[in-house]
Amino acid sequence: MEFNKDLIAASSTPIVLAILSEGDSYGYAIIKRVQELSGGQMEWTDGMLYPVLHQLERLGLVKARWEEAESGRRRKYYRITSRGRIQLAEERRQWQAVHATLRGIWKSISMEKLEIRSTKSETSINREMFNGPKQYQRFRISLIQALAGC
């Protein structure tokens, strides 16, 4: 599943901080944990994760250290700081409010309302908005294709 870039950007800080609250970790392990937690739906890359880790480090929310792994390779491990835990608590509070709001909205609308349907009267009204049925049909096809990518 491809996620909206803004959603990934907004959720990356609380996700990384939450994973590090479970214990110290390194980049590849964080990427794998995100994949595991999302049931394989979220697939982060190095290019997405490391800028977030570096930003969190600059802000003092995580600290990094180099360690030698069992394989002999050096790995950069990250741990959440006390300041990071405070930030994580605030992020959690905010995301819970967003989640509750969306849950409330989604309860009031059914999936049927989100589907594109065209009744006879809607079709005749929509056709009048275009310069003939061919333009309407092209618009309808392009709309369906655009929404298929959502």
Secondary structure of residue 11 in the 3-state scheme: helix
Rounded Cα distance, 147 and 115, in Å:
10
Residue with the bigger pLDDT between 51 and 135: it is 51
* pLDDT at 19 > cutoff 90: yes
Same domain, 123 and 92: no
Rounded Cα distance, 86 and 81, in Å:
9
Same domain, 91 and 141: no
Name the residue range of residue 124's domain.
Answer: 116-148
Residue with the bigger pLDDT between 4 and 66: it is 66
Contacts (Cβ under 8 Å, ≥6 apart) of 81: 60, 61, 62, 63
Q: What are phi and psi of 74, to 5 degrees?
A: -85, 135
- pLDDT band per the 50, 70, 90 thresholds, residue 106: confident
Q: Residue 95 corresponds to which tokens in the numbers above? A: 């995301």
Same domain, 48 and 91: yes
Average pLDDT, the chain: 85
Which has the minimum average pLDDT: 51-65, 83-97, 102-116? Answer: 102-116
- Looking at residue 150, what is its pLDDT? 43
* pLDDT at 135 > cutoff 60: no
- Looking at residue 51, what is its pLDDT? 97
User: Domain total for the chain?
Assistant: 2
What distances in angstroms separate CA 55 from CA 10, 31, 64, one per listed residue? Answer: 13, 17, 12
Its pTM stands at 0.72
Same domain, 141 and 95: no
